[in-house]
Chain A
Amino acid sequence: MLDKQGIAKRIAKELRDGYYVNLGIGIPTLVANYVPDEIDVTLQSENGLLGMGPFPTEDEIDADLINAGKQTVTTLPGSVFFDSATGFAMIRSGRVDLTVLGAMEVNERGDIANWKIPGKMVKGMGGAMDLVASAQNIIVAMQHTNRAGESKLLQNLSLPVTGLGCVKKIVTNLCVLDVTERGFELKELAPGVTVEDVKNATAGKLIVEGDIPTISV
Protein backbone atom coordinates (compact mmCIF):
# COMPACT_ATOMS: atom_id res chain seq x y z
CA MET A 1 0.00 0.00 0.00
CA LEU A 2 1.03 3.56 -0.60
CA ASP A 3 0.50 6.30 1.94
CA LYS A 4 -0.28 9.86 0.84
CA GLN A 5 3.42 10.64 0.40
CA GLY A 6 3.82 7.48 -1.67
CA ILE A 7 0.96 8.46 -3.98
CA ALA A 8 2.54 11.90 -4.39
CA LYS A 9 5.96 10.36 -5.10
CA ARG A 10 4.52 8.08 -7.79
CA ILE A 11 2.70 10.98 -9.47
CA ALA A 12 5.89 13.03 -9.42
CA LYS A 13 7.36 10.44 -11.80
CA GLU A 14 4.85 11.62 -14.42
CA LEU A 15 6.42 15.09 -14.44
CA ARG A 16 8.55 16.05 -17.43
CA ASP A 17 11.10 18.78 -17.88
CA GLY A 18 9.42 22.05 -18.86
CA TYR A 19 5.93 21.09 -17.70
CA TYR A 20 3.50 23.69 -16.43
CA VAL A 21 1.60 21.91 -13.64
CA ASN A 22 -1.50 22.69 -11.61
CA LEU A 23 -1.73 20.87 -8.29
CA GLY A 24 -5.03 20.64 -6.43
CA ILE A 25 -5.58 20.69 -2.68
CA GLY A 26 -4.64 17.69 -0.51
CA ILE A 27 -2.43 14.86 -1.80
CA PRO A 28 -1.79 16.71 -5.11
CA THR A 29 -0.07 19.54 -3.21
CA LEU A 30 2.44 17.01 -1.86
CA VAL A 31 3.63 16.22 -5.41
CA ALA A 32 5.63 19.47 -5.32
CA ASN A 33 7.88 17.90 -2.67
CA TYR A 34 9.02 15.14 -5.03
CA VAL A 35 9.90 16.90 -8.28
CA PRO A 36 13.01 15.07 -9.53
CA ASP A 37 16.18 17.15 -9.22
CA GLU A 38 17.10 16.83 -12.89
CA ILE A 39 13.90 18.41 -14.21
CA ASP A 40 12.37 21.85 -14.05
CA VAL A 41 8.61 22.26 -13.68
CA THR A 42 6.60 25.44 -13.19
CA LEU A 43 3.66 25.37 -10.80
CA GLN A 44 0.55 27.31 -11.77
CA SER A 45 -1.95 28.59 -9.24
CA GLU A 46 -5.13 29.66 -11.01
CA ASN A 47 -5.94 32.53 -8.66
CA GLY A 48 -3.01 34.39 -10.18
CA LEU A 49 0.51 33.00 -9.88
CA LEU A 50 2.77 31.16 -12.28
CA GLY A 51 6.05 29.98 -10.81
CA MET A 52 4.91 29.18 -7.30
CA GLY A 53 7.67 28.78 -4.76
CA PRO A 54 7.73 26.87 -1.47
CA PHE A 55 5.78 27.85 1.63
CA PRO A 56 7.32 30.91 3.29
CA THR A 57 9.37 31.10 6.44
CA GLU A 58 7.73 33.04 9.28
CA ASP A 59 9.60 36.17 8.15
CA GLU A 60 8.58 35.80 4.50
CA ILE A 61 4.80 35.51 5.09
CA ASP A 62 2.86 37.93 2.89
CA ALA A 63 -0.94 38.04 3.26
CA ASP A 64 -1.16 39.23 -0.35
CA LEU A 65 0.61 36.15 -1.68
CA ILE A 66 -1.44 32.95 -1.53
CA ASN A 67 -2.11 29.89 -3.67
CA ALA A 68 -5.44 28.49 -4.87
CA GLY A 69 -5.75 26.62 -1.57
CA LYS A 70 -5.45 30.01 0.16
CA GLN A 71 -2.12 28.96 1.73
CA THR A 72 0.67 31.48 2.04
CA VAL A 73 3.36 30.82 -0.58
CA THR A 74 6.41 32.49 -2.10
CA THR A 75 7.63 33.42 -5.56
CA LEU A 76 10.71 32.26 -7.47
CA PRO A 77 12.90 34.07 -10.01
CA GLY A 78 10.70 34.29 -13.12
CA SER A 79 7.40 34.17 -11.23
CA VAL A 80 4.52 36.23 -12.56
CA PHE A 81 1.21 37.47 -11.13
CA PHE A 82 -2.00 37.91 -13.12
CA ASP A 83 -5.72 38.23 -12.63
CA SER A 84 -7.95 35.17 -12.22
CA ALA A 85 -9.42 35.38 -15.75
CA THR A 86 -5.88 35.07 -17.10
CA GLY A 87 -5.28 32.16 -14.71
CA PHE A 88 -8.18 30.27 -16.22
CA ALA A 89 -7.27 31.36 -19.74
CA MET A 90 -4.04 29.40 -19.27
CA ILE A 91 -6.07 26.36 -18.26
CA ARG A 92 -8.86 26.62 -20.85
CA SER A 93 -6.47 27.15 -23.72
CA GLY A 94 -4.58 23.97 -22.85
CA ARG A 95 -1.28 25.51 -21.83
CA VAL A 96 -1.13 23.72 -18.49
CA ASP A 97 0.52 20.38 -19.25
CA LEU A 98 -0.59 18.41 -16.22
CA THR A 99 -3.34 18.78 -13.64
CA VAL A 100 -3.35 16.68 -10.50
CA LEU A 101 -6.47 16.66 -8.38
CA GLY A 102 -8.37 14.66 -5.81
CA ALA A 103 -11.69 12.92 -6.40
CA MET A 104 -14.60 11.43 -4.50
CA GLU A 105 -15.48 9.13 -7.42
CA VAL A 106 -14.28 8.32 -10.93
CA ASN A 107 -16.18 6.12 -13.35
CA GLU A 108 -14.83 3.82 -16.07
CA ARG A 109 -15.38 6.51 -18.73
CA GLY A 110 -13.18 8.99 -16.87
CA ASP A 111 -16.03 11.11 -15.50
CA ILE A 112 -15.14 12.65 -12.17
CA ALA A 113 -17.14 13.71 -9.10
CA ASN A 114 -15.34 15.82 -6.53
CA TRP A 115 -17.44 18.83 -5.55
CA LYS A 116 -20.71 17.95 -3.95
CA ILE A 117 -22.31 15.38 -1.66
CA PRO A 118 -26.11 15.60 -1.71
CA GLY A 119 -27.49 16.24 1.76
CA LYS A 120 -24.26 17.79 2.97
CA MET A 121 -23.30 21.45 2.96
CA VAL A 122 -22.28 22.39 -0.56
CA LYS A 123 -19.05 24.33 -0.47
CA GLY A 124 -18.71 24.88 -4.18
CA MET A 125 -16.60 23.70 -7.06
CA GLY A 126 -14.01 26.46 -7.00
CA GLY A 127 -11.85 25.94 -10.06
CA ALA A 128 -12.39 22.19 -10.34
CA MET A 129 -14.96 22.30 -13.16
CA ASP A 130 -12.81 24.62 -15.26
CA LEU A 131 -9.76 22.44 -14.70
CA VAL A 132 -11.38 19.12 -15.55
CA ALA A 133 -13.17 20.52 -18.60
CA SER A 134 -10.00 21.83 -20.19
CA ALA A 135 -6.85 20.20 -18.87
CA GLN A 136 -5.01 18.11 -21.46
CA ASN A 137 -3.72 15.62 -18.97
CA ILE A 138 -5.44 14.92 -15.67
CA ILE A 139 -4.17 12.57 -12.99
CA VAL A 140 -6.42 11.80 -10.06
CA ALA A 141 -4.75 11.20 -6.68
CA MET A 142 -7.04 9.49 -4.19
CA GLN A 143 -7.69 6.63 -1.84
CA HIS A 144 -9.09 3.61 -3.68
CA THR A 145 -12.07 3.30 -1.31
CA ASN A 146 -14.00 5.79 0.80
CA ARG A 147 -14.18 5.84 4.60
CA ALA A 148 -17.02 3.33 4.52
CA GLY A 149 -14.78 0.98 2.55
CA GLU A 150 -16.74 1.41 -0.68
CA SER A 151 -15.00 1.61 -4.03
CA LYS A 152 -14.46 5.06 -5.50
CA LEU A 153 -13.84 3.54 -8.95
CA LEU A 154 -17.29 2.90 -10.31
CA GLN A 155 -19.27 1.89 -13.35
CA ASN A 156 -21.50 4.94 -12.86
CA LEU A 157 -21.03 7.93 -10.55
CA SER A 158 -23.36 8.15 -7.58
CA LEU A 159 -22.39 11.76 -6.82
CA PRO A 160 -23.01 14.88 -8.95
CA VAL A 161 -20.51 15.01 -11.81
CA THR A 162 -17.74 17.64 -12.02
CA GLY A 163 -16.65 16.86 -15.57
CA LEU A 164 -17.14 14.23 -18.26
CA GLY A 165 -14.53 11.92 -19.76
CA CYS A 166 -11.56 13.84 -18.46
CA VAL A 167 -9.51 11.54 -16.19
CA LYS A 168 -6.64 9.75 -17.96
CA LYS A 169 -4.74 8.25 -15.04
CA ILE A 170 -5.49 7.41 -11.41
CA VAL A 171 -2.97 6.79 -8.65
CA THR A 172 -4.46 5.32 -5.47
CA ASN A 173 -3.08 3.74 -2.32
CA LEU A 174 -3.41 0.37 -4.11
CA CYS A 175 -2.35 0.90 -7.70
CA VAL A 176 -1.88 2.94 -10.86
CA LEU A 177 -4.69 2.74 -13.42
CA ASP A 178 -5.15 4.19 -16.89
CA VAL A 179 -8.66 5.11 -17.94
CA THR A 180 -9.17 3.84 -21.49
CA GLU A 181 -12.09 3.06 -23.78
CA ARG A 182 -12.19 -0.40 -22.23
CA GLY A 183 -12.37 0.69 -18.58
CA PHE A 184 -9.83 0.91 -15.75
CA GLU A 185 -6.59 -0.70 -16.97
CA LEU A 186 -4.37 -1.86 -14.15
CA LYS A 187 -0.81 -0.69 -14.88
CA GLU A 188 1.09 -0.99 -11.59
CA LEU A 189 0.50 -2.40 -8.12
CA ALA A 190 1.56 -0.80 -4.84
CA PRO A 191 4.05 -2.85 -2.82
CA GLY A 192 2.29 -5.65 -0.96
CA VAL A 193 -0.94 -5.31 -2.95
CA THR A 194 -2.27 -8.13 -5.14
CA VAL A 195 -4.40 -8.05 -8.28
CA GLU A 196 -7.10 -9.68 -6.18
CA ASP A 197 -6.99 -6.78 -3.69
CA VAL A 198 -7.51 -4.28 -6.52
CA LYS A 199 -10.35 -6.35 -8.00
CA ASN A 200 -12.09 -6.44 -4.64
CA ALA A 201 -11.77 -2.68 -4.22
CA THR A 202 -12.84 -1.73 -7.75
CA ALA A 203 -16.54 -1.62 -8.60
CA GLY A 204 -16.08 -0.46 -12.20
CA LYS A 205 -14.73 -2.56 -15.07
CA LEU A 206 -11.12 -3.52 -14.34
CA ILE A 207 -8.81 -4.73 -17.11
CA VAL A 208 -5.83 -6.82 -16.03
CA GLU A 209 -3.47 -8.00 -18.77
CA GLY A 210 -0.13 -9.73 -18.37
CA ASP A 211 2.24 -9.29 -15.45
CA ILE A 212 1.58 -6.14 -13.48
CA PRO A 213 4.77 -4.49 -12.23
CA THR A 214 5.14 -3.14 -8.71
CA ILE A 215 5.29 0.62 -8.27
CA SER A 216 8.78 1.82 -7.56
CA VAL A 217 8.94 5.07 -5.66
Chain B
Amino acid sequence: MYILSENFFLFLEILTSQDVAMNKVVKNAEEAIQGISDGMTLMLGGFGLCGIPENSINALVKSKVKNLTCISNNAGVDDFGIGLMLQGKQVKKMISSYVGENAEFERQLLSGELEVELLPQGSLAERCRAAGAGIPAFFTPAGFGTEVAEGKESREFNGKQYIMEKAFESDYAIVKAWKGDTDGNLIFKATARNFNPLMAMAGKITIAEVEELVEPGELDPNFIHTPSIFVNRIFKGENYEKRIEQRTIR
Protein backbone atom coordinates (compact mmCIF):
# COMPACT_ATOMS: atom_id res chain seq x y z
CA MET B 1 0.00 0.00 0.00
CA TYR B 2 2.75 2.37 1.00
CA ILE B 3 4.75 1.50 -2.16
CA LEU B 4 1.73 2.05 -4.34
CA SER B 5 1.06 5.51 -3.02
CA GLU B 6 4.72 6.44 -3.29
CA ASN B 7 4.60 5.45 -6.96
CA PHE B 8 1.45 7.43 -7.37
CA PHE B 9 3.08 10.61 -6.04
CA LEU B 10 6.12 10.01 -8.22
CA PHE B 11 3.75 9.67 -11.18
CA LEU B 12 2.04 12.94 -10.28
CA GLU B 13 5.40 14.64 -9.94
CA ILE B 14 6.40 13.55 -13.45
CA LEU B 15 3.07 14.64 -14.85
CA THR B 16 3.35 18.12 -13.45
CA SER B 17 7.09 18.70 -13.87
CA GLN B 18 8.47 20.84 -16.67
CA ASP B 19 10.48 17.94 -18.06
CA VAL B 20 12.70 19.31 -20.83
CA ALA B 21 12.83 15.94 -22.57
CA MET B 22 9.05 16.02 -23.03
CA ASN B 23 9.02 19.47 -24.57
CA LYS B 24 8.35 19.16 -28.29
CA VAL B 25 8.36 22.85 -29.07
CA VAL B 26 11.42 24.07 -30.92
CA LYS B 27 12.27 27.67 -31.72
CA ASN B 28 12.29 27.51 -35.50
CA ALA B 29 12.91 25.38 -38.59
CA GLU B 30 16.70 25.40 -38.12
CA GLU B 31 16.30 23.84 -34.70
CA ALA B 32 13.60 21.46 -35.91
CA ILE B 33 15.77 19.87 -38.60
CA GLN B 34 18.69 19.16 -36.25
CA GLY B 35 19.79 15.57 -36.76
CA ILE B 36 18.89 15.38 -40.44
CA SER B 37 22.11 14.30 -42.09
CA ASP B 38 23.48 13.27 -45.48
CA GLY B 39 21.94 10.16 -47.00
CA MET B 40 18.75 10.14 -44.93
CA THR B 41 15.24 9.46 -46.19
CA LEU B 42 12.69 12.24 -45.62
CA MET B 43 8.96 12.41 -46.09
CA LEU B 44 7.72 15.85 -47.07
CA GLY B 45 4.01 16.62 -46.90
CA GLY B 46 2.04 18.54 -49.49
CA PHE B 47 0.27 18.09 -52.80
CA GLY B 48 1.81 20.25 -55.50
CA LEU B 49 2.69 23.40 -53.59
CA CYS B 50 -0.37 23.09 -51.35
CA GLY B 51 0.42 22.31 -47.73
CA ILE B 52 4.18 22.00 -48.09
CA PRO B 53 6.45 22.62 -45.07
CA GLU B 54 7.89 25.86 -46.47
CA ASN B 55 9.94 26.83 -43.43
CA SER B 56 11.56 23.42 -43.02
CA ILE B 57 12.39 23.18 -46.73
CA ASN B 58 14.10 26.57 -46.58
CA ALA B 59 16.07 25.43 -43.53
CA LEU B 60 17.09 22.22 -45.30
CA VAL B 61 18.31 24.30 -48.25
CA LYS B 62 20.41 26.45 -45.91
CA SER B 63 21.78 23.40 -44.11
CA LYS B 64 23.18 22.02 -47.39
CA VAL B 65 22.46 18.48 -46.21
CA LYS B 66 22.72 16.21 -49.27
CA ASN B 67 22.20 12.77 -50.83
CA LEU B 68 18.66 12.82 -49.51
CA THR B 69 15.92 10.48 -50.59
CA CYS B 70 12.69 12.48 -50.58
CA ILE B 71 9.27 10.88 -50.46
CA SER B 72 6.84 13.53 -51.62
CA ASN B 73 3.94 13.41 -54.06
CA ASN B 74 5.56 16.13 -56.19
CA ALA B 75 8.96 17.75 -56.53
CA GLY B 76 7.96 21.39 -56.30
CA VAL B 77 8.64 23.94 -59.03
CA ASP B 78 12.00 25.37 -60.06
CA ASP B 79 12.12 28.15 -57.50
CA PHE B 80 9.81 26.92 -54.75
CA GLY B 81 9.32 23.90 -52.54
CA ILE B 82 11.47 20.84 -53.12
CA GLY B 83 12.64 22.54 -56.33
CA LEU B 84 14.89 24.66 -54.10
CA MET B 85 16.54 21.51 -52.73
CA LEU B 86 17.01 20.25 -56.29
CA GLN B 87 18.70 23.53 -57.23
CA GLY B 88 21.15 22.87 -54.39
CA LYS B 89 21.71 19.31 -55.65
CA GLN B 90 20.69 17.97 -52.26
CA VAL B 91 18.40 15.23 -53.52
CA LYS B 92 19.72 11.86 -54.64
CA LYS B 93 16.36 10.23 -55.19
CA MET B 94 12.73 11.34 -55.42
CA ILE B 95 9.85 8.98 -54.71
CA SER B 96 6.77 10.69 -56.16
CA SER B 97 3.66 10.22 -58.27
CA TYR B 98 3.95 13.30 -60.49
CA VAL B 99 7.00 15.45 -61.14
CA GLY B 100 6.07 17.36 -64.26
CA GLU B 101 6.41 20.99 -63.21
CA ASN B 102 10.13 21.35 -62.75
CA ALA B 103 12.79 22.02 -65.45
CA GLU B 104 15.77 21.52 -63.12
CA PHE B 105 14.29 18.19 -62.08
CA GLU B 106 14.11 17.16 -65.74
CA ARG B 107 17.70 18.25 -66.37
CA GLN B 108 19.07 16.28 -63.40
CA LEU B 109 17.00 13.25 -64.27
CA LEU B 110 18.15 13.17 -67.89
CA SER B 111 21.79 13.72 -66.90
CA GLY B 112 21.59 10.84 -64.44
CA GLU B 113 22.30 13.02 -61.36
CA LEU B 114 18.89 12.28 -59.92
CA GLU B 115 17.07 9.01 -59.49
CA VAL B 116 13.28 8.92 -59.51
CA GLU B 117 10.81 6.24 -58.47
CA LEU B 118 7.30 6.91 -59.71
CA LEU B 119 4.36 5.38 -57.88
CA PRO B 120 0.60 5.61 -58.26
CA GLN B 121 -0.61 8.42 -56.01
CA GLY B 122 -2.93 6.17 -54.02
CA SER B 123 -0.15 3.66 -53.45
CA LEU B 124 2.14 6.47 -52.32
CA ALA B 125 -0.49 7.64 -49.83
CA GLU B 126 -1.20 4.13 -48.59
CA ARG B 127 2.50 3.31 -48.20
CA CYS B 128 2.70 6.31 -45.86
CA ARG B 129 -0.43 5.27 -44.03
CA ALA B 130 0.79 1.68 -43.68
CA ALA B 131 4.09 2.88 -42.24
CA GLY B 132 2.22 4.92 -39.66
CA ALA B 133 -0.13 2.07 -38.84
CA GLY B 134 2.49 -0.63 -38.28
CA ILE B 135 1.47 -2.55 -41.39
CA PRO B 136 4.51 -3.76 -43.36
CA ALA B 137 2.79 -4.27 -46.72
CA PHE B 138 -0.57 -4.40 -48.49
CA PHE B 139 -2.08 -5.42 -51.81
CA THR B 140 -3.51 -2.90 -54.28
CA PRO B 141 -4.83 -3.27 -57.82
CA ALA B 142 -3.14 -0.02 -58.91
CA GLY B 143 -0.33 -0.71 -61.32
CA PHE B 144 -1.05 -4.39 -61.92
CA GLY B 145 0.12 -5.31 -65.43
CA THR B 146 2.15 -2.10 -65.72
CA GLU B 147 5.82 -1.36 -65.21
CA VAL B 148 5.01 -0.30 -61.64
CA ALA B 149 4.42 -4.00 -60.89
CA GLU B 150 7.90 -5.07 -62.00
CA GLY B 151 9.73 -6.85 -59.20
CA LYS B 152 6.66 -6.79 -56.94
CA GLU B 153 4.72 -9.81 -55.76
CA SER B 154 1.28 -10.15 -57.32
CA ARG B 155 -1.63 -12.17 -56.04
CA GLU B 156 -5.25 -12.84 -56.94
CA PHE B 157 -8.04 -12.14 -54.47
CA ASN B 158 -11.67 -12.86 -55.42
CA GLY B 159 -10.78 -13.09 -59.10
CA LYS B 160 -8.93 -9.78 -59.29
CA GLN B 161 -5.18 -9.22 -59.52
CA TYR B 162 -3.27 -7.13 -56.99
CA ILE B 163 0.35 -6.18 -56.39
CA MET B 164 2.11 -5.95 -53.06
CA GLU B 165 3.32 -2.54 -51.96
CA LYS B 166 5.44 -2.10 -48.85
CA ALA B 167 5.24 0.50 -46.12
CA PHE B 168 7.78 3.28 -46.50
CA GLU B 169 10.69 3.59 -44.15
CA SER B 170 11.79 7.12 -43.46
CA ASP B 171 14.10 8.80 -40.97
CA TYR B 172 12.15 12.02 -40.70
CA ALA B 173 8.68 13.11 -41.74
CA ILE B 174 8.19 16.84 -42.14
CA VAL B 175 4.64 18.14 -42.28
CA LYS B 176 2.80 21.43 -42.37
CA ALA B 177 -0.38 21.96 -40.37
CA TRP B 178 -2.71 24.90 -39.91
CA LYS B 179 -2.99 24.77 -36.13
CA GLY B 180 -1.07 22.81 -33.57
CA ASP B 181 -0.72 22.76 -29.81
CA THR B 182 2.51 22.50 -27.86
CA ASP B 183 1.81 18.81 -27.19
CA GLY B 184 1.88 18.19 -30.95
CA ASN B 185 -1.81 17.79 -31.78
CA LEU B 186 -2.45 19.00 -35.33
CA ILE B 187 -5.30 20.37 -37.41
CA PHE B 188 -4.93 20.82 -41.16
CA LYS B 189 -6.76 23.25 -43.40
CA ALA B 190 -8.83 22.33 -46.46
CA THR B 191 -6.94 20.35 -49.10
CA ALA B 192 -3.61 21.33 -47.55
CA ARG B 193 -4.25 18.20 -45.47
CA ASN B 194 -3.42 15.80 -48.37
CA PHE B 195 -0.38 13.69 -47.43
CA ASN B 196 0.45 15.57 -44.23
CA PRO B 197 -1.41 13.52 -41.60
CA LEU B 198 -0.33 10.27 -43.29
CA MET B 199 3.32 11.25 -43.22
CA ALA B 200 3.03 12.66 -39.71
CA MET B 201 2.27 9.12 -38.54
CA ALA B 202 5.03 7.55 -40.57
CA GLY B 203 8.30 9.23 -39.62
CA LYS B 204 10.75 7.78 -37.14
CA ILE B 205 10.90 11.41 -36.07
CA THR B 206 8.09 13.74 -37.12
CA ILE B 207 8.54 17.47 -37.40
CA ALA B 208 5.45 19.65 -37.69
CA GLU B 209 5.45 23.31 -38.64
CA VAL B 210 2.22 25.18 -38.00
CA GLU B 211 0.69 28.55 -38.79
CA GLU B 212 -0.75 28.88 -35.30
CA LEU B 213 0.78 27.31 -32.20
CA VAL B 214 -1.50 27.24 -29.17
CA GLU B 215 -1.54 25.82 -25.64
CA PRO B 216 -2.95 22.35 -24.91
CA GLY B 217 -6.69 22.60 -24.41
CA GLU B 218 -7.21 25.33 -26.95
CA LEU B 219 -7.88 22.89 -29.78
CA ASP B 220 -11.19 21.03 -29.57
CA PRO B 221 -10.27 17.32 -29.18
CA ASN B 222 -13.20 16.49 -31.47
CA PHE B 223 -11.54 18.20 -34.39
CA ILE B 224 -7.88 17.18 -34.12
CA HIS B 225 -6.62 15.33 -37.20
CA THR B 226 -3.20 14.14 -36.00
CA PRO B 227 -2.91 13.03 -32.37
CA SER B 228 0.12 14.40 -30.52
CA ILE B 229 1.69 10.96 -30.02
CA PHE B 230 2.87 10.99 -33.64
CA VAL B 231 4.62 14.35 -33.44
CA ASN B 232 8.11 14.78 -31.98
CA ARG B 233 8.95 18.40 -32.75
CA ILE B 234 6.70 21.36 -33.44
CA PHE B 235 7.27 25.02 -34.19
CA LYS B 236 5.41 28.05 -35.42
CA GLY B 237 6.35 28.78 -39.03
CA GLU B 238 6.82 32.28 -40.40
CA ASN B 239 6.10 34.13 -43.65
CA TYR B 240 4.08 31.51 -45.47
CA GLU B 241 4.02 32.31 -49.16
CA LYS B 242 1.49 29.59 -50.14
CA ARG B 243 2.21 29.83 -53.83
CA ILE B 244 -0.57 28.73 -56.19
CA GLU B 245 0.34 26.55 -59.18
CA GLN B 246 -2.86 26.82 -61.21
CA ARG B 247 -4.65 30.01 -60.23
CA THR B 248 -8.03 29.42 -61.83
CA ILE B 249 -10.98 31.74 -61.48
CA ARG B 250 -14.59 31.57 -62.58
Contacts and interface: CB of A to CB of B under 8 A. Distances in A.
Are these two chains actual partners, yes or no?
A: yes
Interface of A: 45-49, 54-58, 61-67, 69-73, 75, 81-85, 87-88, 91-92, 121-130, 133-134, 160-164
Interface stretch (B63-71, B85-93, B139-147, B228-236): B139-147
Nearest to A122: B118
A121 B116 CA distance: 12
Contacts of B73: 84
> Interface extent on B, as a size class?
35 or more
Interface of B: 47-51, 73, 96-100, 106, 109-110, 116, 118, 120-123, 125-126, 128-129, 140-148, 178, 188-198, 225, 242-250
Contacts of B142: 92, 129-130, 133-134
B122 A92 contact: yes
B165 to A, nearest CB: 11
A67 B248 CA distance: 11
A58 B249 contact: yes
B133 to A, nearest CB: 10
A83 B47 contact: no
A48 B194 CA distance: 6
Dominant SS at the A interface?
loop
Contacts of A126: 97-98, 120-121
A156 B166 CA distance: 31
B122 A46 contact: yes
A71 B121 contact: no
Contact of A125 (B118, B145, B191, B198): B118
B141 A134 contact: yes
A64 B123 CA distance: 23
Contacts of A71: 246, 248
Contacts of A85: 122, 125-126, 128-129, 198
A56 B250 contact: yes
By Cβ-Cβ distance, the 8 closest A-B pairs, closest first, are A88-B122, A123-B100, A130-B122, A63-B242, A124-B98, A129-B120, A133-B141, A71-B248
Contact of A124 (B100, B143, B198): B100
28 contacts: A46-B122, A48-B191, A56-B248, A63-B243, A64-B51, A64-B178, A70-B48, A70-B246, A72-B249, A83-B125, A83-B193, A83-B196, A84-B121, A84-B198, A88-B121, A88-B122, A92-B141, A121-B106, A121-B110, A122-B99, A124-B96, A124-B99, A124-B100, A125-B97, A129-B120, A133-B120, A133-B141, A133-B143
Contacts of A84: 47, 73, 121-122, 125, 194-195, 198
B146 A64 contact: no
Nearest to A127: B121
Contacts of A64: 50-51, 178, 189-192, 242
A163 B123 CA distance: 14
B249 A62 contact: no
Given A70-B50, A129-B146, 13 more contacts: A55-B249, A56-B248, A61-B244, A63-B243, A64-B191, A66-B48, A66-B50, A70-B48, A72-B247, A85-B122, A121-B110, A127-B121, A163-B144
Contacts of A67: 191
Given A49-B191, A125-B98, A127-B97, A88 B143 contact: no
A123 B248 CA distance: 22
**Candidate in B48, B98, B140 with the most chain A CB atoms within 10 angstroms:** B98
